Amino acid sequence: MFCLQELKNNIIICGHFGCGKTNVAVGLALDMARAGRRLGIVDLDIVNPYFRTADSVPELERAGVDCFIPQFANTNVDIPSLGGEISAVFARQTDDPFYTAIFDVGGDNGAIALRRYRPELEKRGYSMLFVASMYRPLTETAEDAVAGLREIEACSGLHATAFINNSNIGRETSADDIAASLTYTDKICELTSLPCLAVTLHNASYAKQLHSKYPEYNFTVISDSTKKLF
């Protein structure tokens, strides 16, 4: 489980593209729904043409999560427009002060989409969770990952408030691969002074094993929501 009590009503998931933001966002949304929170997930991805939050809409809606999806997501056109359907989430928050919104942001400079919502987000308060994986080629070192974060912060005008380590090599991830990423986690937290909110993984048996060995980390199991083609 994610430590939900530490999070504000607006939760932004950002990071390098392919670091697993959508998996984290969907996983977090499902965790929150199970904990009884009223919430919506907002697909702010203007970068990815496919493999996005929109793929998980049926599962999210079944869990009671509202989905705010841009009009052209998963269509045959590549129009990075974010229409009024996105802003509707703030109207919901005005009506319901306990309503949580999770923003799944596009990779790297896709975070520019956030800038438009910056005044609302600053007014209402936000938690911005920076996701990184040491098994992704352009964020293999903590220094490169942090450089990417600084680019995201410059694009969005917002600042990360916590770090999530989502280091994995897909279905081939072993418990050792995750353990090997803990130094990376420490280094990123040291360089940014951010707390580590979670080390995410898909395999529940690894979580137990890792937790007994490294009790200082919050190993959080999330389901793999990536659309399967075959």
For other proteins, the binding residue among 57, 88, 138, 191 (CB under 8 A) is 138
Per-residue contact flags (x/-) with other proteins for residues 98 to 137, judged by CB under 8 A: -----------------------------------x-xxx
Query: Interface with other proteins includes 53 (CB under 8 A)?
Result: no
| Binding residue count for other proteins, defined by CB under 8 A | 24
Task: Provide, rounded to whole angstroms, the least separation between the CB of residue 169 and other proteins.
Answer: 4
- How far is it, in rounded angstroms, from Cα 2 to Cα 209? 18
- How far is it, in rounded angstroms, from Cα 69 to Cα 34? 21
- How far is it, in rounded angstroms, from Cα 75 to Cα 215? 44
Task: Provide, rounded to whole angstroms, the least separation between the CB of residue 9 and other proteins.
Answer: 31
Query: Interface with other proteins includes 169 (CB under 8 A)?
Result: yes
Sheet holding 127-132, edge to edge: 66-68, 39-44, 100-105, 10-15, 127-132, 162-165, 196-201, 219-221
- How far is it, in rounded angstroms, from Cα 19 to Cα 133? 5
Comparing CB distances to other proteins, the nearer of 9 and 109 is 109
Task: Provide, rounded to whole angstroms, the least separation between the CB of residue 181 and other proteins.
Answer: 12
Residues in the chain, overall count: 230
- How far is it, in rounded angstroms, from Cα 13 to Cα 106? 9
Q: Which residues bind other proteins (CB under 8 A)?
A: 17-18, 48-51, 75-78, 133, 135-138, 140, 168-172, 226, 229-230
